[in-house]
Amino acid sequence: MDEEEHEVGFTTASDLRRDDPDPGAPTFDIAHPERSHPRSGGMRYEGGTVFTLSPDRDVSLADAVEAVLREGPYRYGDWFDLPMPLFLVHDDGTGDTFRVSVRDGRVELHVRSATTAEGLRAFYDRLVDRVDGSVRVEREEQTT
């Protein structure tokens, strides 16, 4: 290839954000839940962090989330018969596991023990690309 020739490629919005991070972008500061094993059996989580993602425009969030999950690199399941979408998600690219719920025009990302900021940011970037608009992020630290 000539020095003056340039290879043509495809760049996504998420690639651009990685190359030139937005100083106002969410950081996904995580407090992990504590696992306990009660004598009665099972496992219980206490504490943790929930991030609420709210798009600035009216979109079908359930459809957007399902499209993001389908396009990967996610393994996910919706094993619960609930009146709202609720998924347990594993990101094969980052190795993260987290819960995703959709309700009242918002997406909630529930931090689990195997969740990193990188995995949440990757999901956020893909959701922003899917809804084609900005998405506000709010962080809530849970105590129980």
> What pLDDT digit, counting tens, does each position of 23-67 carry?
567 878 887 777 777 888 887 777 789 999 999 988 899 999 999
All domains in the chain, ordered by first residue: 48-142 (3.30.310.200)
pLDDT at 36: 76
Find tokens 């084609």 and name the residue.
Answer: 132
Instruction: Check residues 43 and 141 and name the one with the higher pLDDT.
Output: 141
Q: pLDDT above 90 covers what percent of the chain?
A: 44
d(CA 66, CA 58): 16
| Ramachandran category for residue 115: left, alpha or beta (phi over 0 → left; psi -120 to 50 → alpha) | beta
When computed from its CA atoms, the radius of gyration of the chain, rounded to whole angstroms, is 17
Please compute the mean of the pLDDT values over residues 88-99 and round it to a whole number.
93
d(CA 112, CA 27): 17
pLDDT at 89: 93
Long-range contacts of 38-45 (CB under 8 A, 24+ apart): 45/112, 45/113
pLDDT at 71: 93
Question: Rounded to an integer, what is the distance from CA 31 to the centroid of its chain?
Answer: 15
